Amino acid sequence: YISLILLILGLAFTQVSYAQSSVKISINEFMYDPPSGSEYVELYNYSDTPIDIQGWTLSYNRSTQELITNSSFTIPADSFVVLAPDSSLISNPAYADISLVEVSGFPALNNTGDAIVIQESGGSTIDSVDYSPDWGGSDIALERRSPTANGNFEQNWGDSPDEYGTPGNPNQIPEDVQP
């Protein structure tokens, strides 16, 4: 009887894990509660080589995976791409020159917290973020402090110092320099 209880408790506290990729792309910024306009997710290629995201997927709460693009789309080394449901973001002159991919099935990001998951075509997880509104992000983007630190640590995120965020550009939030 005790073994059964331990088994049930073990299953209750088991976190689903995905095969992690060695690709150096991070979810670098996202807007889940915009004051106006569209939500977005920014990816950052922090490697020294270009990376093609053809066949990659975007999902929330690890549910339905939405294809980012079925065409070849390369993120240059040390560069950004913004994923959004439409092109309204680039109608703002401040963001007219950003690299943007319209994701036709862009999932709505929940204002009460959610998971954002990026997977490559083989199913390996590139990066994921389980965020909460306690992190900030009300009417402002959340920016990542370090692309190499775990994205699920609240301390690795903060409200963008810029009014709307810095989609397609380097983050303005100070990088965490403490070990």
Which of 127, 168, 115, 159 has the alpha carbon at shortest distance from 141?
Answer: 159
The owner of tokens 């007219």 is 96
91 φ/ψ angles, rounded to the nearest 5 degrees: -75, -20
Which of 77, 69, 67 has the alpha carbon at shortest distance from 47?
Answer: 77
pLDDT by 10s per residue, the chain, length 179: 444 333 343 433 333 334 445 789 999 999 999 998 899 999 999 999 999 999 999 998 756 789 999 999 999 999 999 999 999 999 888 889 999 999 998 988 999 999 999 999 988 999 999 999 999 999 999 999 999 999 999 999 999 998 789 999 999 998 876 65
The pTM score is 0.86
The token pair at 67 is 């294809």
* 82 beta partners: 42, 100
